[in-house]
């Protein structure tokens, strides 16, 4: 009897008899190990939104802009690492890739826990850890590419929808779990001493007053509880498919290829962070992407022909139109997930006070809502509704659904910007909080539905050979939203004009509305979808 984790030579899931007899069982096992592994990736990639909010409450000696920068660095590296991760499955095999990329998450998880034990930890250490947590973002591209190979065309929507949709719940899991584990010394003396809150904080179940002991280091350590068994599950329960990866090599050889590909991404992420210090973000990001693509083309050995073949997608104009539309949907979801906690903390954590002579100054809001109590709601709705978006798109057509949610995003973004402006300049910002949160939840819901519709469109527009690489590429570029949103919102909040960021996003959403109509919905569209 073959081992559960043996390489599979024969794999023909389009044959219904094979699927029912053998394929379905193997695919299901691989999917249900893949989902929690991807969920951990999302959690560790985006944990900086919650961690930086608590660092601010604990009085860590960093400015608000520096704290926003940590979320942005994680966003940048997570997006950049998706580019090389798109090629891992064909080169190194699914089992090898999922095992190693899940195990690598232990480095930022453990490192972050150790760094947070001491408020005097240098800022550059936090920058390095934020960069490494981007491994979790990169893992999406290889995870989706892997699961796609296990399911027949008729079941692609289910397999990819479950993997992506439940994987996205890593954002919500993190936003609920981190505030809770910081309230208790669950790891005892091993995790060190607590710190006392300087500003009020909160959890899902309520407010926590200043002076309360907090174990912020648990925000890193908690993930090891899940990652260690998951790495074992990946190694002993998943498979390499020889039809997808004819020559994965022995495990050590495969690990070398994976580390080489991620090494390129880490290198170009560092170059991107450096470029941001000397030039405009809108120049630095394209340079980072181009540098990554160029370096991947230069990798020697048997990786080279594989990558060259997959680069054929760049000659297809629909690769570029769908990239723009995936930025609209997934870019917004992941960007707002990263930026929302600290935005709540900064906009509502202070309020305007009018002096006797009429001058206004910003002072601490003693009754501010806690980001750690409320920020999970938007990503929860966005992730929950994603499979629904795919289902509706199967009925109506992906581009019709994308067009409708684009209109919603334009209107909601303008409205949110206006409410943020009112709250920032108010003597009672709390009165705007409910409307602010509802508008953000509407944007998360629209982007979640749009995630499903653009996913469905990619499956409709591209053939079997190009679908996987296009999915990896579009998800990589859209993931830069996790960098752009915290960066733009952080800068505009610092400048006292938070509405400008949201109005800028609304302009981009209007451009997406036109792109979608021009390519897929007008009378003479390139591809009618539907």
pTM listed for this prediction: 0.87
Return the pLDDT at 157. 67
Q: What is the DSSP letter of 23?
A: I
Confirm if 104 and 135 have CB atoms less than 8 A apart.
yes
Query: With 80 as the cut, is the pLDDT of residue 161 above it?
Result: no
The percent of residues in the chain predicted with pLDDT above 70, rounded, is 98
Contacts of 42 (CB under 8 A, 6+ apart): 136, 137, 140, 167, 168, 169, 170, 171, 174
Average pLDDT of the chain to the nearest whole number: 89
Q: How far apart are CA 437 and CA 382, in angstroms?
A: 13
- pLDDT of 464 reads 63
Instruction: Give pLDDT, residue 455.
Output: 76
Q: Per-residue pLDDT tens for 453-468?
A: 887 788 778 876 677 7
**What SS3 string covers 36-89?**
HHHHHHHHHHCCHHHHHHHHHHCCCCCCHHHHHHHHHHHHHHHHHHHHHHCCHH
The encoded tokens of residue 221 equal 């350590």
pLDDT in tens, 419-429: 999 999 899 99
Provide the CA 323 distance to its chain's centre, in angstroms.
16
What is the model's pLDDT at position 386? 81
Neighbours of 216 (CB within 10 A): 25
- The residues facing 241 across adjacent strands are 8
Provide CATH 1.20.1250.20 ranges for the chain. Answer: 10-249, 312-529
pLDDT > 90: what percent of the chain?
A: 53
**According to the model, what pLDDT value does residue 230 have?**
97
Q: Residue 1: pLDDT band by 50, 70, 90 thresholds?
A: very low
Answer yes or no: is pLDDT of 92 > 80: yes
CA distance 184 to 205: 14
Please give the CATH number for the structural domain made up of 312-529: 1.20.1250.20
Using the Cα atoms of residue 390, residue 394, residue 398 and residue 404 in order, give the sign of their dihedral: negative
Lowest-confidence pick of 142-151, 217-226, 501-510: 142-151
CATH architecture of 10-249: Up-down Bundle (1.20)
Compare 4 and 437 and report the one with higher pLDDT.
437
Task: Tell me how crowded residue 190 is: count the other CB atoms within 10 A of its CB.
Answer: 8
């Amino acid at each position: 009897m073959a081992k559960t984790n043996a390489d599979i030579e024969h794999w023909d899931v389009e044959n219904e008899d094979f699927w029912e007899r053998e394929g379905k069982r193997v695919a299901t096992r691989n999917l249900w190990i893949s989902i929690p592994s991807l969920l951990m990736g999302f959690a560790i990639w985006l944990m900086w939104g919650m961690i930086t909010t608590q660092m601010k409450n604990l009085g860590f000696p960093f400015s608000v802009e520096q704290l926003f920068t940590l979320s942005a660095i994680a966003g940048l590296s997570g997006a950049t690492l998706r580019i090389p991760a798109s090629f891992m499955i064909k080169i190194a095999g699914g089992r090898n890739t999922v095992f190693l990329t899940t195990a690598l998450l232990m480095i930022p998880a453990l490192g972050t826990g150790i760094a947070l034990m001491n408020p005097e930890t240098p800022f550059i250490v936090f920058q390095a850890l934020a960069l490494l947590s981007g491994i979790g973002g990169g893992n999406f591209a290889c995870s989706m590419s892997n699961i796609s190979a296990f399911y027949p065309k008729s079941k692609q929507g289910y397999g990819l929808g479950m993997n992506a949709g439940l994987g996205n719940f890593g954002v919500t899991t993190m936003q609920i779990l981190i505030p809770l584990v910081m309230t208790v010394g669950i790891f005892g003396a091993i995790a060190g001493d607590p710190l006392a809150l300087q500003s009020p904080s909160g959890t899902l179940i309520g407010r926590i007053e200043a002076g309360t002991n907090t174990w912020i280091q648990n925000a890193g350590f908690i993930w090891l509880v899940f990652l260690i068994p998951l790495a074992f599950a990946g190694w002993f329960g998943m498979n390499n498919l020889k039809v997808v990866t004819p020559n994965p090599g022995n495990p050590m050889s495969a690990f070398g290829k994976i580390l080489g590909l991620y090494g390129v991404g880490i290198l170009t992420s560092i170059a991107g962070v450096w470029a941001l210090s000397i030039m405009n973000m809108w120049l630095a990001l394209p340079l980072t992407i181009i540098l990554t693509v160029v370096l991947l083309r230069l990798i020697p050995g048997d990786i080279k022909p594989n990558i060259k073949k997959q680069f054929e997608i760049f000659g297809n104009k629909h690769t570029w139109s769908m990239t723009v539309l995936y930025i609209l949907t997934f870019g917004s979801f992941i960007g707002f997930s990263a930026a929302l906690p600290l935005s709540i903390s900064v906009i509502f954590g202070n309020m305007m006070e009018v002096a006797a002579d009429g001058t206004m100054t910003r002072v601490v809001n003693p009754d501010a809502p806690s980001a750690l109590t409320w920020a999970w709601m938007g990503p929860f709705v966005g992730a929950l509704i994603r499979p629904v978006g795919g289902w509706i798109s199967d009925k109506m057509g992906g581009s019709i659904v994308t067009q409708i949610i684009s209109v919603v995003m334009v209107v909601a973004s303008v409205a949110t910007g206006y409410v943020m402006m009112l709250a920032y300049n108010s003597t009672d910002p709390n009165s705007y909080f409910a409307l602010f949160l509802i508008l953000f939840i509407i944007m998360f819901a629209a982007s979640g539905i749009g995630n499903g519709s653009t996913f469905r469109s990619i499956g409709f527009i591209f053939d079997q050979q190009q679908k996987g690489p296009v999915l990896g590429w579009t998800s990589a570029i859209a993931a830069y939203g996790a960098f752009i949103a915290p960066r733009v919102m952080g800068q505009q909040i610092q400048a006292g004009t938070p509405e400008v960021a949201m109005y800028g996003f609304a302009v981009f959403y209007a451009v997406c509305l036109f792109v979608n109509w021009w390519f897929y919905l007008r009378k003479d569209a390139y591809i009618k979808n539907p």
